[in-house]
Structure 1
Amino acid sequence: MKTEHERQEIINAINVLLHQAYDSTLDEIYALLEKIEDQEDEEDLKTVKEAREEIRLHGTFSWEKIKKEIAEERKQDVA
């Protein structure tokens, strides 16, 4: 995951290139970004469906159990 500063630098660099691009190139870029967004939405929906199916088959976990597992993972990461 990028820091906010890194993200801003990339956005600024992209903006410079976008302002120099031909209209047809802008149209292509826009279409690609929409396609990427649609794919991410599909992946998110798939993940939600899989999680719901997992819950249906195996039930849910208590918040206390989840916190315990997170704490154990942190201990392992430190070691």
Structure 2
Amino acid sequence: MVDAANVTDIKQAIIQQLETASVETLKEILELLQIRSSEDEEDIIESRKALEEARVIGTIPWSEVKRQAGL
């Protein structure tokens, strides 16, 4: 579990590293963060679609899934 103190320490460590990083490294970090943000947005969209599909079509009870799997 990450508490507020750990988050603060992590942020400070990142800032210290960024202060000495090259421009190329900073560009790569920014690109990585943008990719991550984009992937997160895509995950949220897909999750919402799946929830809507479950509402419309319905779901299979866990007991049925286990029965079909022979568990």
Normalised by the size of structure 2, how large is the TM-score?
Answer: 0.76
Runs of 5+ unmatched residues, structure 2: 60-71
Query: Post-superposition shift, 1:58?
Result: 2.4
Match in the other structure for 1:43: 43
- 1:21-36 to 2 correspondence within 5 Å? 21-36=21-36
Normalised by the size of structure 1, how large is the TM-score?
Answer: 0.69
SS of equivalent residue, structure 1 residue 54? helix
- 1:1-79 to 2 correspondence within 5 Å? 1-58=1-58
Runs of 5+ unmatched residues, structure 1: 60-79
Query: Post-superposition shift, 1:3?
Result: 1.3
State the number of aligned residues: 59
Report the identity percentage.
Answer: 25
Q: Deviations over 1:7-47 (max 9, x none)?
A: 11111100000001001110110001000000011011111
Moved over 3 A (4+): none
Match in the other structure for 1:74: none
Partners of 1:8 and 1:52 in 2: how far apart?
38
